[in-house]
Amino acid sequence: MQIQVFKFGGASINSGERIKNMAGILQRYAIGPVLVVVSAIGKTTNALEEVLENYLANDPLAVLDSFQKVSDYHFAILDSLFSDKSHPVYGEVTSLFDQLRGYIRKGHLYSQTKPGRDFEYDQIVSFGELFASAIVHHYLVSQGLTCRLFDVRELIRTDATYRDARVDWNTTGRLIQDAVSGWFPDHPGKGAIAITQGFIGCDPAGNTTTLGREGSDFSAAIFAFSLQAREMTIWKDVPGVMNADPKLMPDAVCLDTLSYREVIELAYYGASVIHPKTIKPLENAGIRLRVKSFLHPELEGTVVENIREWKISTPIYILKQNQVLISVSPRDFSFIMEENLSEIFRTLAAFRIKVNVMQNSAISFSICVDNDPHKITPLLSFLQKNYETRYNQGIELYTIRHYTDEAITRITRDRKILMELRSRNTFQVLLDKKNG
C-alpha cells in the first residue's frame, strides 16, 4: 500500500479560512491513503509556554488569564468553522480545555527535582496539538472526508527525557503498523485520512512527552518511516525551501531540489525550515520529501531526495539571532588543555546546551550558544567558579552555505565582526548587535 504523509504546521491552520484551505488541499491531493500530522494552531505553543511560565511562578491570576486567551482563540476558530453550536466538536474541545484547566488550577510548587520543569512543560504545552487535531478532525469529517483521529500517545513511544524525548523506534513502528496500516485497507479509494498530532509522544509510564520545538516535522518522518510511505509533504507558507528568510531578504528564491545531506547541514546550522531530526528516517528509508506551499499548492515546491552530486550556484543564508558568545580562560594563565575542554564539554552536555560555533586559542576558549536563560545562567555560574569568564549577548550568527565574496560582503558590510570561520562550503560569522 502506498501511503503518503502530509504535515500541516501551525501557520497552515491558524484561522478558520486556513483550515478550510487545508481541507481543500486534502480533497484535491489526498489520493489514496494519507496520514496527516498537525501541529498546534498558529502560535499556540508559544501561548501555552506562557501559561506554563505563570503556572511555574505560582501566579494563579496570570495562569487563568493566559489560559483564557488560548481558549478564546480556539473557540473563535471553531465558531468560524461550525454554525451549529450543538456539534460534538464543541463538547470535545471543551473537555480538553477542562482537562488543562484542571491541571493548572492545582497550582504548582516549583522544585528542581520533582516533578520538574521539563515534565510540567510536556504535560501543559502538548495540549496545543490535542486542540488542533480535534478541531481539524471534526472539520474534515464535516466536509465529507473519510477521516479518523489517532491519539499519537498510543503510537509514538519515547523515553522520559521530557521536552526532548527519544523515540523507541521498535515499539513505535509496531504500534503504528498495527493501528494505522490496519485501518487503511478498510477504507480504500480516494481520501482515506488518518489524522494525528505532531510534536508529542508518550513514555512507558503513560506520561505525555514532547520531541522538541518544531518537532512535528520529525513526527511526520517517524510515521513516514514506520509506514514505509511513498512520499512525505510538509505544507508551509513559503513556496518551498528558500535560500534565505524572505522576511529578511526579499530577493530570496525557492530551491527546486536539495539532497538529504544538504538539508541536514542546513538544519544543523539553524535553518528553521525543517526540524533537524526529520531527515535521517527519510534518508534511511529512501522516502522523498516535498516542501510545498499551502497557499499555492499548484507549485512544485522543493524536492529533497538522495542526490549524489548535488550542486548549487546560489548561496544559502541562515541567521541565528539571540546568541551569546562565552569566552573562558584559566585563571592562572595556563593553557587551555584537553582536561579543561573535556570538563567544559561535560558541563555543556549536562545542561543540554548545543554549541553553535566554537574557537580556541592558547589561553582561551569561546563558544556561541542560544540565549536560553534557564540553561545559560547555571552554565555561567559553573564556568565562573573555575575560569575567567566573559560573555556577550544579543549576537547574530550568520552561516552562508556555498558562499561567494559577494554574499559575505552583503552580510558583513558595516557590521562589527566578532568571530569568523570558513571551510570549503561554509562561512560563519558572529556579528555584534546591529549598529553595535
Per-residue b or e along 318-329, where b marks 16 or more CB atoms closer than 10 Å to that residue's CB: bbbeebbbbbbb
Binding footprint of ligand ASP, residue count (CB under 6 A): 12
Beta-carbon count within 10 A of 110 CB:
12
198 binds ligand ASP (CB under 6 A): yes
Query: Could you say which of Mg ion, ligand ASP, none residue 42 binds, taking C-beta under 5 to 8 angstroms by partner kind?
Result: none
Nine-digit cell at 258? Answer: 536539495
173 binds ligand ASP (CB under 6 A): no
Nearest residue to ligand ASP on Cβ basis:
216
239 binds Mg ion (CB under 5 A): no
Please identify which residue in 4, 14, 39, 302 interacts with ligand ASP, judged by CB under 6 A: 39
User: Which part of the chain contacts ligand ASP (CB under 6 A), choosing from 51-59, 65-73, 212-220, 372-380?
Assistant: 212-220
Please identify which residue in 3, 4, 5, 10 interacts with ligand ASP, judged by CB under 6 A: 10
Query: Do 52 and 125 meet the contact criterion of CB atoms below 8 Å apart?
Result: yes
Please identify which residue in 4, 5, 8, 9 interacts with ligand ASP, judged by CB under 6 A: 9
216 binds ligand ASP (CB under 6 A): yes
Whole-angstrom distance, CA of residue 383 vs CA of residue 275: 30
Query: Could you say which of Mg ion, ligand ASP, none residue 366 binds, taking C-beta under 5 to 8 angstroms by partner kind?
Result: none
Please identify which residue in 191, 215, 240, 281 interacts with ligand ASP, judged by CB under 6 A: 215
Query: Could you say which of ligand ASP, Mg ion, none residue 215 binds, taking C-beta under 5 to 8 angstroms by partner kind?
Result: ligand ASP
Our CB check for ligand ASP shows the closer of 243 and 278 to be: 278
Shortest distance in whole angstroms from residue 81 CB to ligand ASP: 20
Query: Do 152 and 219 meet the contact criterion of CB atoms below 8 Å apart?
Result: yes
Query: Could you say which of Mg ion, ligand ASP, none residue 315 binds, taking C-beta under 5 to 8 angstroms by partner kind?
Result: none
Please identify which residue in 10, 42, 240, 281 interacts with Mg ion, judged by CB under 5 A: 10
214 binds ligand ASP (CB under 6 A): yes
Shortest distance in whole angstroms from residue 199 CB to ligand ASP: 4
Our CB check for ligand ASP shows the closer of 40 and 336 to be: 40
Shortest distance in whole angstroms from residue 236 CB to Mg ion: 12
Strands across the sheet containing 355-360: 355-360, 365-370, 316-330, 387-401, 426-431, 417-422
Whole-angstrom distance, CA of residue 231 vs CA of residue 162: 30
Beta-carbon count within 10 A of 35 CB:
27
Please identify which residue in 21, 45, 71, 209 interacts with ligand ASP, judged by CB under 6 A: 45
Residues 28-57 vs Mg ion: string with x where CB under 5 A?
-----------xx----x------------
Query: Could you say which of Mg ion, ligand ASP, none residue 128 binds, taking C-beta under 5 to 8 angstroms by partner kind?
Result: ligand ASP
Our CB check for Mg ion shows the closer of 10 and 315 to be: 10
Please identify which residue in 213, 288, 410, 415 interacts with ligand ASP, judged by CB under 6 A: 213
Query: Could you say which of ligand ASP, Mg ion, none residue 191 binds, taking C-beta under 5 to 8 angstroms by partner kind?
Result: none
Shortest distance in whole angstroms from residue 253 CB to ligand ASP: 25
N-terminal to C-terminal alpha carbon distance within the chain = 58
Query: Do 364 and 325 meet the contact criterion of CB atoms below 8 Å apart?
Result: no
Look-up: residue for cell 511555574?
56
Shortest distance in whole angstroms from residue 433 CB to ligand ASP: 27
In degrees and rounded to multiples of 5, residue 24 shows phi and psi of -65, -40
Beta-carbon count within 10 A of 175 CB:
19
4 binds Mg ion (CB under 5 A): no
Write out the residues near ligand ASP by the rule CB under 6 A.
9-10, 39-40, 45, 128, 198-199, 213-216
Write out the residues near Mg ion by the rule CB under 5 A.
10, 39-40, 45
